[in-house]
Every structure is written in structure tokens, then in C-alpha cells.
Amino acid sequence: MTAQADVGRQARQHARWHWSEVAFWILALSCAFLFPSRYLIMTDIVRLALFALSLDLILGYAGIVSLGHAAFFGVGAYSAGLLALHGIVTEPVMALVVAGLVATAVGFLTSFLVIRGADLTRLMVTLGIALLLEALAERFSNVTGGTDGLQGIEMQPILGLFAFDMFGKVGFFYCLAVLFLLFLLARRIVHSPFGLSLRAIRNNPLRAAAIGIPVNRRLIAIYTLAACYAGIAGALFTQTTALASLDVFSFERSADLMLVLVIGGTGYLYGGLIGAVVFRMLQEVFSTITPQYWQFWIGLVLVVIVLVGRARMHRWALWAPNLIIRQLGGRKAIVAVPESDAP
Amino acid sequence: MTTLFTILFDGVAYGMLLFVLACGLAVTLGLMNFVNLAHGAFAMAGGYVCAVLVNRSGWPFFASLPLAFVASAGIGAVLERALYRHLYNRSHLDQVLFSVGLVFMSVAAVDYIMGSSRIFIKLPAALEGQVDFFGIGIGRYRLMIIVICGLLTAALQLVLARTRFGSRLRAAVDDPRAAIGLGINVPQVFAFTFAFGCGLAGLGGALSAEILGLDPYFPLKFMIYFLIVVTVGGSSSITGPFLASLLLGIGDVAGKYYVPKLGPFVIYTIMIVILIWRPNGLFGRTAAR
């Protein structure tokens, strides 16, 4: 067997749907029926999951560390809000697409700034872009509503059929559907040859360039795609909460997002989804203990995670599931988090 | 003409202050290559120590300043020995996560202990008001800042260039392995430098309470300014960050005066442009490792 065929077979094998993935999505859907009184927080989790998925695309697959991913979230949020407010595109799905496209455009333009320079410069430039957009949104308060945010957004029924209700049921299914579709797309992309080349770049950009991968073009492509995903997440935020304020650009949002992804693990797509669930649960627990100072505990979690080491923490978390699988199936451990974004 | 001088003067004072606040970060970020986003937390600690001493215990302002330095340096030294040193060789992502965690913790902790409103430090009467200098009104407080920060800068430059410790630090930064081979205790040098940088930040925090405002969100609000000073200034010497802080200070004050509507927009744009144009900073060179 040639090496090429071998790689292809491996990749295809990896890309096949695993039964645990099917179980994951069935579980996600069944949550809607298990906790009918918790639609609002579940919607929040789904939005956050989509946002984290978008960061995973660039951080976990391409190795771009971004401190300002909220920039695209904010662009999407404000686009969706403005579209609905001025009645330009009233149908939510179309508005979602348009907002995604706006974020894509911004992502494409800024990607040229981001691919230059090493880690540190990237951190600064991404952070700078988010702050810049926040300052812009504050400056053009006649368009964005300034510190008050966009108010009085009224959402039309989705596809003209399903009106948003008070309890957030429609909103939840809408977000979940969007997340699932975008997840399928992301899954297809990261398992394609394009996705494999991204991983090569993350592991060693120099070597990737040497075997003929156009490094910069690939990075621009994935960064733009991630911006699109983040924009859609932002648009979902506006559509389901009927609100868009300056804090969509805030640094805390970007930092929280990193925590979400770090809790879940990078580079296997489900990290963001699992992380979003765990993060919101943690936040709930902490804010019931100390309503005002939950940030302290979130910070502590971050510090502990880093000091323990992300890889080690995920091994601990997966110890119990793997033990069960070993006992039941008599196989070797099959659940593992590929943790290789550290150099 | 007078306004121009006043702006220039205020800008220089602001820039000097930024330099004292950020020069510790120039060492950790630029020289030790550690992304410490929590640097502002040490400045905040110094500011609050000074505020508590002056407002509650009735200490004189000038006696509290050294204590702000000592307190921040102490916290810095403890944290460096306990936590930071384990992370020197980790990825930038880990360092960012860690220091962001510290920032969140410090913000919530200070909010819990001291309350969330802005705090003012009672100034001695000698520092209030203005002195008239050839028809230009000069704030006494700002004048004091310029004097203190100017002296500090000169002393730092002297220490780095002339003393034994300075040459050890420069050696440790240039090539840690060779420095260890020569018998320099590199971890100790780094720990001392880190603590000293934190102490300077604490002093800066105490001085800046009057000008920048001191509240629990200080580390988040001014994080970007410190980072700008270091990344724009580069890290090859102390002069780079110094010039960068002066530029930033004058630019910010002038920007707020002449084009108040644009807000911080100008600063961020300039930073991005400079970073794109020269990723290692205006006066920089590549970091040693």
C-alpha cells in the first residue's frame, strides 16, 4: 500500500461517524424535552457552543491564538440587530446569513493583519481589532445606540412560520438547528484534505510550507471561516435576546471563550460544545454561591487548569468513561482528547 | 500656544506614568518572553495599598509611596516563586489563560474587599493646584510625577548599564544557557527582576490614582496601554518603551483634546499599523528566545 493511500484510509476512518457522536447529538436534542423550563439557559449554552466552535477552528486546527474573537461576534450581533431594526432583512434565517457574510468580510479583511507576525503580535493585533471595533461602536452611537445598545428589536417568525415565544422554546430549537448544521459543515471541513493541511500548519508551519502547503492562504481561509461562524453566533445572540449592546465586543467575552474551549479541549470540535455546557454550569454554581463575585472563581478555575496542565486534566476527566468502556467493551480506551496545540 | 504647552506637559506626565507602570512588563514580556496580562493587577495592588494607608491610617502620602512599591514587589515575588516560574517554558496560550485568570481573580477580590467605586487618595496640600511658569499653568501633581518618574528612569538606565546586576540581567536575557554556564543564577535574577517590575507597577499605580482613576477594573482597562508600550517600544533596551510611553501619552492627551469624538480609536489604529509594519516594535529587535 502506498503512503498516500494509507493516509487517505486513515483520514477516512477518522472521519467516520462514531456512535458516541450520535449519542451526543441525541442527548443534546433530548435536553429540550428533559428540561422544558430551562430553555433560556440552554439557548445560551448552544450560542456559546457555536462561538466556541468557531474559536476551535482557528485555535485547535490552525494554532492561531486570538484574544479578540469577540470582534466578529459583535459584528454579527450588530448586523443582525440593525437588519431587524431597520427592516432591511426581516426574516431571521436570511438575516443570519447576511450577518454571517458581514462578519466573513470583516474576518477576511483583518486576516491579512493577523497572519503576519508570531504569536505575540497576533495576540496584540486580535485584541486591538476587538477594542477598535468597540471604540467604533461607541463612537457611532447614532447607528449603534452607543452605551445603551440597540433597543426595540422585533423579530419576525422564522421562515415566516415559527414565531419566537416568551419561554425561548422556538429560539432554542432554532439555535440548536443552526449549531448542528454548522457543526456538520465544520466536521466535513476539518476532515477534508484542507483540514489535514491546517493541522500540518499548526504542528509546524515551516515544514508545512516545505511540503507545498500554501500556509498563508490556508490561514486566511480558516480565519475567515471562523469569523463567519462567530458572526452567526453573534447574530443568534441578538435574535434570541432581541438585544445588542457594546459588551458584545468586550475583552471578557473573548477571555471567557478561551476558558470554554480550554475546559472542553481543543482540536476535536466537541471541545467547544462540552466546554460551553460545563462553563455555564460552573457559572450558575458560582453565581448562586456569590452573585457578585463569580468572576473570582472563574479566574481560579483558569489558573488551576493551567497549573495542572490541560492535557493532564483531560486525562483525569476521561478516566472514568474510559474505565467503563474498557469494562463493558473489553477494548482499549477509545475516548481521548487530542491535545497538541501546545508547541 | 499655551494650550499646546499644557497638552505637551500633561502628555509627558501621562507618558512617564505609563512608563513606570509598564516597564516591569517590558522585562517580563519583552525579555523573558512571558505574556503577563496580569501586570495591571500589581499596579492596582500598589494603588490600593497607598489609598488604604493614606485614607484610613492617616499616613503621609510620600511615606506611603515606598510602601506601595514594597507591597507590590512582595506580592510579585511570592507569586513568581509560587506560580509564574512554572510557566516560563509553556506555550503563550497557557500564559495568557493563566494571567487572565489572575486578572479576573484580582478584580473580583478587590471589588469584594474595597467595593466597586472609584477610590481617591487624599493628596497633601502642597501637591494641589498649579504653579505659574512663564504664563503657563502647570499642575503641581503632574510636575511631581515627571520629577519622580524621570529620576526613576535615569536610575533604571544606570542600574542596567553600569551595575553588576544589570550586566547579569542582560546576560541572562540574551542567552540564559550561556549565562547559567558562567555561574549566573538566572532564575534568581529573573525572580528579582520580576518582583522589582511589580514594585514599580505598584508605585505607578499609587501615583496614577489621581490621573487614571483607581477602581477594581483598573487591570482590564489599562492592560492594552501597557501592552502597547511594550510591543510598540520593543524590548532591546529601556529607551524603546520609554519613548513609546511618551509618544502614547502625548498622543492620547492630544487626541482627547483635539479630536475628542474619536476617543481611543486613534491609539488602537496606530498600534495595529505599527505592529503590522514592524512586528518587533519601533525600536525593537527579535527577542532572544
ipTM of the complex: 0.84
Q: Tell which residue, A101, A20, A77, has the closest CA to residue A250.
A: A77
Mean pLDDT of all residues in B45-66: 90
| Residue A157 confidence (pLDDT) above 90 | no
Say how many CB pairs under 8 Å bridge A and B: 128
Label residue A91 exposed, middle or buried (CB < 10 Å: 0-12, 13-18, 19+).
Answer: middle
| Residue B62 confidence (pLDDT) above 80 | yes
Residue A287: its pLDDT value, please? 87
Residue A239 · residue A96 · CB < 8 Å: yes
- Mutate which of B34, B86, B98, B100 to disrupt the A interface (most A C-beta within 10 Å)? B100
Q: How confident is the model at residue A329 (pLDDT cuts 50, 70, 90)?
A: low
Residue A95 · residue A83 · CB < 8 Å: yes
Q: Do B271 and A299 touch (CB under 8 A)?
A: no
Task: Return the domain boundaries, chain A.
Answer: 34-250, 310-343
Q: Do A262 and B97 touch (CB under 8 A)?
A: yes
| Residue A334 confidence (pLDDT) above 60 | no
Q: pLDDT higher for B128 or B243?
A: B243
Q: Do B275 and A298 touch (CB under 8 A)?
A: no
Q: How confident is the model at residue B77 (pLDDT cuts 50, 70, 90)?
A: very high
Question: In angstroms, rounded to a whole number, what is the distance separating the alpha carbons of residues A280 and A238?
Answer: 19
Collect all residues of chain A within an 8 Å Cβ-Cβ radius of residue B265: 132, 135-136, 139
Residue A231: its pLDDT value, please? 95
> CA nearest A59 in B: which residue?
B93
Say whether residue B279 is in contact with chain A using an 8 A CB cutoff: yes
| Residue A90 confidence (pLDDT) above 90 | no
pLDDT tens figures, A180-209: 999 999 999 999 999 989 989 988 888 999
Collect all residues of chain B within an 8 Å Cβ-Cβ radius of residue A303: 83, 98, 101-102, 105
Residue A330: its pLDDT value, please? 57
Is residue A260 classed as helix, strand or coil in its secondary structure?
A: helix
Which set of grid coordinates corresponds to residue B114?
Answer: 474595597
| Residue A25 confidence (pLDDT) above 60 | yes
Percentage above 90 pLDDT, chain B:
27
Residue A9: its pLDDT value, please? 83
CA distance A188 to chain B (A): 27
Residue A339: its pLDDT value, please? 45
- Mutate which of B81, B107, B274, B275 to disrupt the A interface (most A C-beta within 10 Å)? B275
| Residue A88 confidence (pLDDT) above 60 | yes
CA distance B229 to chain A (A): 12
Q: How confident is the model at residue B131 (pLDDT cuts 50, 70, 90)?
A: confident
Q: How confident is the model at residue B56 (pLDDT cuts 50, 70, 90)?
A: confident
Q: Do B83 and A255 touch (CB under 8 A)?
A: no
pLDDT tens figures, A247-258: 889 888 999 999
